[in-house]
Amino acid sequence: MSRPDGGPAGWRAIARKDVQDAGRSRTVWLVFALLVVSAVGFVVLDTRSGDPDYLAFVDGLAGIVGVGLPLLSILLGYRAIAHERIDGSIRLSLSFPHSRRELLVGKFLGRSVVLLVPTVVIVLLAGAVAVVRYEPAAAIRWYPWVLLLTAGYGLAFLAVAVGLSMSTTVDRRLTLGAFGVYLLAVSLWDTLVSATVLVLHRFRFEALAELPSWAYLAHLLQPSEAYYHLLRVGVDVDRANRYAEAGTPWFVEPPVAALVLLAWTATPLLVGFALFRRADL
């Protein structure tokens, strides 16, 4: 059915075709348009505000990215491989010949291009506004860091979606899994950690003001929290400011946040591929 190993030509061909196919998705373009409208709307409102504040600008933009980019990434990736398994076209893809590993690499890289090109354009345009409106030296110096982190953040959620796509062909599981991951990782994570702290401390709300050490790490395991924490390395935004407090444990330093994002990227792909490799196509 497929080769155990393959050369670079295989994954390149798959990636090239996937860019063309994924770029035709109306749902992806709709979510991308909403992300553009949100970012442009924020920039317009910010430019009409009274006092220009670079930190507030980056903080607000990060908030939009933190919510919108994961949705775009998940919609782009959660059916990347499952769709071909469901309609049977994956057998044709693997008969060219392409290995399953080439299929994964090609799909992930192809979807990454579709995700990152418009995302980078949006963030760069917002950065151009920052250079014109705020202190050019500060904006030029640290904005590449914002751009790099935003790309890594989007790829982490894309990896989760592609990993999910390799794990099952049941449409209901795919849909529930995709939006379940989004709700948990973007919306409910902080609430669940805070609720756990309250239960363990017998509903003493003072515990939320003075978090136990393990709770800092539990919060940081959320990908958006890791993204905001790393953002603070270059731009002192208000988000994730709990890690700047005195007495913060050593194991929630920025390098740990970087490892969290890397884990969110690598683990779903490795687990998904392990399941996909053993699956009967």
In a domain, 93, yes or no: yes
Residue 116: inside a domain: yes
CA distances from 211 to 28, 37, 195 (A): 39, 37, 12
AA identity, residue 106: G
Residue 99 lies in a domain: yes
Asked if the model's pLDDT at residue 80 lies above 90, the reply is no
Domains held by the chain: number: 1
Q: Which domain holds residue 250?
A: 8-278
Q: Is 172 a domain residue? A: yes
> By the 8 A CB rule, do 228 and 153 touch?
no
Q: Cα–Cα distance between 276 and 278 in angstroms, integer?
A: 5
- CA–CA gap between residue 272 and residue 32 (Å, rounded): 26
The mean pLDDT value of the chain amounts to: 84
Question: Among the listed ranges 69-73, 110-114, 138-142, 194-198, which one has the minimum average pLDDT value?
Answer: 138-142
The CA distance from 74 to 187, in Å, is 14
pLDDT at 195: 94
Distance in angstroms (rounded) separating the CA atoms of residues 3 and 102: 10
b/e burial code for range 171-202 (CB count within 10 A of at least 16 → b): eeebeebbeebbeebbeebeeebbeebeeeee
Residue 1 in any domain: the answer is no
Mapped onto helix, strand or coil, the DSSP state of residue 245 is coil
CB 158 within 8 A of CB 108: yes
CA R_g for the chain: 20
pLDDT class of 144 with cuts at 50, 70, 90: confident
Angle between helices 254-278 and 136-167 (to 10 degrees): 30
Q: What is the pLDDT of residue 23?
A: 66
pLDDT tens string 93-116:
666 666 788 888 888 999 999 889
| Rounded Cα–Cα distance for residues 94 and 11 (Å) | 11
Is 252 a domain residue? yes
Return d(Cα 100, Cα 97) in angstroms, integer.
Answer: 10
Coil, helix or strand at residue 49? coil
How high is the pLDDT of residue 6? Answer: 46
Q: Is it the case that residue 130 has pLDDT exceeding 90?
A: no
* 212 against 5, higher pLDDT: 212
Among 118-122, 189-193, 264-268, the minimum mean pLDDT is found in 118-122
Give the mean model confidence (pLDDT) for residues 209-237: 91
Backbone CA torsion sign across 23, 29, 32, 33:
positive
- Global pTM? 0.89
Number of Cβ within a 10 Å radius of residue 277: 12
User: Is residue 157 within 8 Å of residue 73, measured between CB atoms?
Assistant: yes
Q: What spatial distance separates the first Cα and last Cα of the chain, rounded to whole Å? A: 9
- Within a domain: 192: yes
**Contact indicator for 244, 232 with CB cutoff of 8 Å:** yes
Q: Would 2 be classed as within a structural domain?
A: no
